[in-house]
């Protein structure tokens, strides 16, 4: 392993100034950002499912780096523990058992689930809090917890069902792609810890090239449909998978075949709908003012008063 191409550099001990920041934002929830002066190289994490041995070191590394703790799990009949992503567990090995109908082999399909860092992030589109979700030009989608209001709209916006809302501080949590580590030239903690290099990190181009090599190897081992998962429906992701059965991504614990932002979310968050709403309210306001001026006020007269008096006094007699 010593000569492995994508071994991450040792942690820097000096000059740990972040290499990117606010000035490199390309998207900011419920607000806009000026076009950044420079474009960072797109980064990506590549998860080669065929090399994963299910050791969960990535989960441990994730908890360790993010200083999170999860309670001792319960065995619900699966190695997937905890049974789902939680506000503290940003990545999760999902275990699926599948009998390949062609070979009758039992295949253990293990997928490391977590934020995919979409190029077109649904969470960011849905978020109503300015700046609570940001995207850097290197592709990382990050949450700013100081600005998060805990509404859960990011959960509805995400095509991969990733964000989780904390019951403690009511904020949304997910994988950050270790943006803090990447900012100082490191890779994500999970990639650093993975003992088989199933998780590697580098520029998106490097990762695609590495994936192509891996796919060639996997195909040579009899998996004709091996391929890269970089779904175009969200304009590509910055976490990609090498899948031996890329023609059936849903085999891997329901990895969506063609993920994209739901049309409901598109319409809900569309500028057209916002303008239509404002226009409708403005139109009705204008209409009532015109009506008030043209036809009003509709006041009762002294005559009405007299008639009412007669009616009432008629009863009183």
User: Is 298 a binder of other proteins (CB under 8 A)?
Assistant: yes
Please state, in angstroms and rounded to a whole number, the distance separating the CA atoms of residues 296 and 305. 19
251 and 245 Cβ atoms separated by less than 8 Å:
yes
Minimum distance, C-beta of residue 193 to other proteins, in the bound complex (Å): 31
Comparing C-alpha atoms, which of 162, 112, 104, 111 is closest to residue 133?
A: 162
Kindly compute the dihedral angle of the four CA atoms of residues 196, 199, 203, 208, in this order, to the nearest 10 degrees.
90
Q: What are the φ/ψ torsions at residue 192 (nearest 5 degrees)?
A: -65, -35
Comparing C-alpha atoms, which of 51, 165, 67 is closest to residue 109?
A: 51
Site for other proteins in 148-167 (CB under 8 A): 149-153, 155-156, 161, 165
Would you give the binding string for other proteins spanning residues 264-283, x where CB under 8 A is met? xx-xx----xx--xx-xx--
User: Is 209 a binder of other proteins (CB under 8 A)?
Assistant: no
Comparing C-alpha atoms, which of 68, 45, 64 is closest to residue 177?
A: 45
User: Is 257 a binder of other proteins (CB under 8 A)?
Assistant: no
User: Is 305 a binder of other proteins (CB under 8 A)?
Assistant: yes
Which one of the spans 7-15, 96-104, 123-131, 135-143 is the region binding other proteins (CB under 8 A)? 123-131
User: Is 7 a binder of other proteins (CB under 8 A)?
Assistant: no
Which one of the spans 74-82, 127-135, 228-236, 251-259 is the region binding other proteins (CB under 8 A)? 127-135
Compare residues 88 and 186 and give the one whose CB is closer to other proteins. Answer: 88
Burial (CB < 10 A; 0-12, 13-18, 19+), residue 192, is: buried
User: Is 233 a binder of other proteins (CB under 8 A)?
Assistant: no
Q: Each residue of 216-239: b (16+ CB within 10 Å) or e?
A: eebeeeebeebbbbbbeebebbbb
Minimum distance, C-beta of residue 67 to other proteins, in the bound complex (Å): 23
Q: Where are the beta strands (DSSP E) in the chain?
A: 25-28, 43-48, 92-99, 106-113, 133-136, 141-143, 164-165, 172-173, 199-203, 227-229, 239-243
Which of 125, 147, 210, 245 touches other proteins by CB under 8 A?
A: 147
Half-sphere exposure of 277 (CA within 13 A, CB side): 8
User: Is 129 a binder of other proteins (CB under 8 A)?
Assistant: yes
Please state, in angstroms and rounded to a whole number, the distance separating the CA atoms of residues 85 and 247. 25
Compare residues 171 and 210 and give the one whose CB is closer to other proteins. Answer: 171
Which of 30, 58, 67, 180 touches other proteins by CB under 8 A?
A: 30
Can you read off the two tokens belonging to residue 215? 């796919």
Compare residues 61 and 172 and give the one whose CB is closer to other proteins. Answer: 172
Which one of the spans 10-18, 99-107, 242-250, 297-305 is the region binding other proteins (CB under 8 A)? 297-305
Please state, in angstroms and rounded to a whole number, the distance separating the CA atoms of residues 215 and 53. 18
Minimum distance, C-beta of residue 23 to other proteins, in the bound complex (Å): 21
* Residues at the site binding other proteins, with contacts judged by CB under 8 A: 30-31, 126, 128-130, 147, 149-153, 155-156, 161, 165, 170, 262, 264-265, 267-268, 273-274, 277-278, 280-281, 284-285, 288, 291-292, 295-302, 304-305, 307-309, 311-315
């Amino acid at each position: 392993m010593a000569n492995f191409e994508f071994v991450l550099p040792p942690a820097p001990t000096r000059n740990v100034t972040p290499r990117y920041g606010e000035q490199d934002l390309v998207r900011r929830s419920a607000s806009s950002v000026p076009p950044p002066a420079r474009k960072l190289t797109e980064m990506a994490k590549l998860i080669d499912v065929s090399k994963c041995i299910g050791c969960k070191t990535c989960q441990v590394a994730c908890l360790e780096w993010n200083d999170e703790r999860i309670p001792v799990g319960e065995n619900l009949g699966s190695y997937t523990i905890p049974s789902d992503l939680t506000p503290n567990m940003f990545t999760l090995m999902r275990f699926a058992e599948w009998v390949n109908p062609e070979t009758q082999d039992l295949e253990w399909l293990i997928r490391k689930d977590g934020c995919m860092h979409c190029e077109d992030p649904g969470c960011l589109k849905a978020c109503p809090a300015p700046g609570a979700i940001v995207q850097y030009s290197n592709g990382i989608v990050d949450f700013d917890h100081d600005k998060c209001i805990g509404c859960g709209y990011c959960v509805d916006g995400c095509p991969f069902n990733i964000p989780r809302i904390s019951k403690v501080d009511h904020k949304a949590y997910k994988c950050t792609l270790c943006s803090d580590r990447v900012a100082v030239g490191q890779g994500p903690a999970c990639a650093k810890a993975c003992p088989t290099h199933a998780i590697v990190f580098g520029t998106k181009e490097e990762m695609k090239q590495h994936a192509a090599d891996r796919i060639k190897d996997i195909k040579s081992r009899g998996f004709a449909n091996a391929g890269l998962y970089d779904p175009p429906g969200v304009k590509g992701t910055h976490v990609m998978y090498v899948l031996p059965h890329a023609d059936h991504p849903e085999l891997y614990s329901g990895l969506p075949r063609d993920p994209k932002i739901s049309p409901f979310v598109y319409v809900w968050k569309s500028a057209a709908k916002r303008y239509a709403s404002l226009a409708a309210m403005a139109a009705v306001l204008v209409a009532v003012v015109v009506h008030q001026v043209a036809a009003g006020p509709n006041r009762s007269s002294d005559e009405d008063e007299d008639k009412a008096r007669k009616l009432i006094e008629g009863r009183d007699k």
